[in-house]
Structure 1
Amino acid sequence: MSAEYATFGLAPAMRAGRVLANGGYQVHRDFMDFIVDGRPLLFQLSDLDAVSPLASDVPPAIFTAHVRMLLLEAPAPLADGRCVIYGCPECEGIECGAVTAVIERDGDDIVWRDFAWQTAEQADLELNGYRGMGPFRFRGDEYRAELERLLTDGGDAAPERRRVLLIGARVAVLARLAAALRTIGIGAEITSDAAEVPAEELRTYGAVAFGRAVGEHERDDVRAAFERAGADVVYVCGLAPVIPLLVAQIEHALDRSPLERRRLTRLTAQDGAAGVEVTSACRVQLVAYRVDRLHRTHTRELFDGMLEPGEHRIPVDGRAVKGQSFLVARTMGSVLVAPMVH
């Protein structure tokens, strides 16, 4: 086993939710990701839709139990001392598949080794082991300090669930948007006057979404109310009354991770092509939303495949993006929206 040390850290991350064209959805999840040698460990798993056990919507007792397990203060839940590192974002069953590893002490150090994809009590390293991933040796004091921050009073290091405040004139659209956001696990409320909302409540929001009919004077009043409350929010101006598009805009606004820790860092839509930039090998999905002259929405999947790190130009069918249209690019954990420039 290598004697080289890897650095260990934790950072907020998210699995972006999604409203599907067929009425289905994917749940939004906020969680703490493992940062190994300065990069999210999840980035080594290029096509995996998963979250760590340290999620914001896990009950406090279970969250604490997961931390204790990683600290080796509680027994591993699986055979051979194996712990779940990443699991299914929709459920907690091992049957859906999970990335597991052996976590053990070696003197004062902590070692993560024998990573595998596991769907049953026993892991098959020959068949499902992640070759080339680890082992990772962490300095025990650094490792424990990071995890113990999650157990301190107040839980300042734990992931925080965010809500969205919706402001606009088209109440029917806002109601559908709020319902869609709540369906995927994001709290959403509707108001016409943020000045009437108590400051302590304003501080619970992570984003404010303005409808296109909200004037600049009204937006300034809302911004002033949040500034007086000392609330740190991102403001979103809705591109079009298309619910999946608005959800994607809000998901992007709620992503507070540093740019260097995101997989998807750039999306452009111009001259019949999409420009996409990713920081690690990952699966990217590209969807077009077009609003025709009768205000009907048309959805078209343009691309779904693996991309290597770097910049990519993806040709776009002109019929899918004629007129008023928008592109949404997604990876696991990142989403970007761009209007098509003709």
Structure 2
Amino acid sequence: MSAEYATFGLAPATRAGGLLPGGDYQVHRDFVDFVVDGRPLLHRLSDLDAVSPLASDVPPSLFTAQVRGLLLEAGAPLPAGRFIVYGCPECEDLACGAVTAVIEPDGEDVIWRDFAWQTDTHADLELNGYHGIGPFRFRGTEYRTALAALLDGRAPGARRRVLLIGARVAQLARLAAALRTIGVGADIAQNADRVPADELRAYGAVVFGRSVRPGERDAVRRAFTTAGVDVPCVDGLAPAVPLLVAQTEQALDRGAPGQRRLTDLTALPAAAEFGVTSSCRVRLTAYRVDRLSRTHARDLFDAVLEPGRHRVPLDAAAVRGEAYVVARTAGTVLVTAVGRR
């Protein structure tokens, strides 16, 4: 098979979890994505909510088996030499649908070809093939070196635990319960003074309650610096659990800025503006805190958008007073306060 060479790499990625209006939720998943010619392969698949088989929250033996398969050291799990490239983020059932491809050697090179959407053991390329994707020819040394790094423990590790700092235990307990619901571990403390350095290095983010004073926040940051770890710190915008969960998901996003589907988000009472790097579904939700400290949530927008800059008008009643907007795709969550002119 003749094909131009494509570069192959791996990068940490996240399928963002969250609490959605109406009581639904989606699970947080950390995984390693495939990067082809400098761009995440997942972004070439329009509006696909999926993760690669290289998920960091699966048992090590299963993770190793997936890597060995991609290295062609084991047989393909599906007929005709097909491998699962992306699957359901909630389970491992092929019936939910998966992107598969033939992965085969060609001398020293490795070929990925015949991408298709598959829901049973056989793929119908005519009906469900991704005809505009691939084939990709990877140099064998580059391909095997990238995957072997996962087996050697040199890939970025997931830190799915969050440290919640504050004195209002009831509010933090609700937040911790919500984070655990979507698969993110959470611990509560008033400070980090006596937390061992090994434990601090296990956290992927710190969330400060609104009652934590600036000096106390600085002390927590110093404790992490002393432990030799740099973690994002989240200042809670409002006592609204879904909003705090969204802020935490934004902080846990380990992807490089250039590999995120949402690049930025700003909001004024009239409209929200944001950038999209690849075709994807974007949802906007407003959270408003009234004078009695009650939180009101409203879905504002839900559509598949093409790459570029977008401006979405906002309902003035939904963002009146103290208000915030959450923009969400399958892999990115951004939160911003609604500014005032």
TM range (shorter): over 0.9
Which residue in 1 is equivalent to 2:270?
Answer: 272
Map 1:203-218 onto structure 2 (within 5 A).
Answer: 203-218=201-216
What whole-Å deviation, never above 9, does each CA across 1:40-63 have from its counterpart, x for those lacking one? 000001210000000011111100
Please give the residue correspondences for 1:234-253 in structure 2 after superposition, counting only pairs within 5 Å.
234-253=232-251
Alpha-carbon shift at residue 23 of structure 1 (Å): 2.7
User: Structure 1 stretches of 5 or more lacking a match?
Assistant: none
Q: Indicate yes or no: 2:118 matched with 1:118.
A: yes
Residue type of the partner of 2:320?
K
C-alpha contact (below 8 Å) 1:16/1:332 kept by paired residues: yes
Following TM superposition, by how much is the alpha carbon of 1:291 offset from its aligned partner in structure 2, in angstroms?
1.1
The 5 Å alignment of 1:1-342 reads 1-152=1-152, 155-157=153-155, 159-342=157-340
| Deviation of the 1:298 alpha carbon | 1.1
Shift of 1:158: 5.0
8 Å contact kept, 1:149–1:157: yes
Cα RMSD of the aligned pairs, angstroms, is 1.0
**One-letter amino acid matched to 2:293:** H
Identity %, equivalent residues:
69
Deviations 1:300-333 (A, max 9, x none): 1111111111111100010111111100001111
* Rounded Cα–Cα distance in structure 2 between residues aligned with 1:41 and 1:199: 37
Please list the CA deviations of residues 14-45 of structure 1 after superposition, one character each: whole Å capped at 9, or x if unmatched: 00001123333111000000000000000001
SS in structure 1 at match of 2:220 = helix
Whether the 8 Å contact between 1:30 and 1:159 is mirrored in structure 2 is: no
Question: 1:156, CA displacement in angstroms?
Answer: 2.5
Deviates more, 1:163-172 or 1:6-15: 163-172
Give per-residue Cα distances to partners, 1:102-123, cap 9 Å, x unaligned.
Answer: 0001111100000000000000
C-alpha contact (below 8 Å) 1:82/1:102 kept by paired residues: yes
Aligned residue for 1:32, secondary structure, equals strand
- Secondary structure, counterpart of 1:194 in structure 2: coil
Give a deviation string over 1:130-172, Cα, whole Å, max 9, x none.
01100000011110110011111xx121542321100112211
The AA in structure 2 aligned to 1:119 is: T
Question: For the residues of structure 2 that align with 1:189 and 1:163, how far apart are their CA atoms?
Answer: 8
**One-letter amino acid of the structure 2 residue matched with residue 50 of structure 1:** A
Are the equivalent residues in 2 in contact too, given 1:55–1:159 (CA < 8 A)? no
Q: How many residues align?
A: 340
Bigger mean CA deviation after superposition, 253-262 or 128-137: 253-262
Is the 8 Å Cα contact of residues 71 and 144 (structure 1) preserved in structure 2? yes
TM-score of the superposition, structure 2-length normalised?
A: 0.98
CA drift at 1:271 = 4.1
Taking structure 1 as the reference length, the TM-score comes to 0.97
Cα deviation, residue 228, structure 1: 1.2
The one-character-per-residue Cα deviations of 1:288-307 (angstroms, maximum 9, x if unpaired) are 01111122211111111111
Alpha-carbon distance in 1 for matches of 2:159, 2:206 = 15
Kindly state the Cα deviation for residue 180 of structure 1 after the two structures are TM-superposed.
0.7
> Higher mean Cα deviation, 200-209 or 155-164?
155-164
Q: Hey, what's the Cα distance between the residues in 2 that align with 1:260 and 1:284?
A: 18
Q: Which amino acid counterpart does residue 329 of structure 1 have in structure 2? A: A
Q: Quick one: distance in 2 between partners of 1:210 and 1:129?
A: 47
- Consecutive unaligned residues of structure 2, counting only runs of 5 or more, are none
Could you tell me how far 1:256 is from its partner in structure 2? Answer: 2.2
1:214 and 1:159 map into 2 onto residues whose CA distance is 29
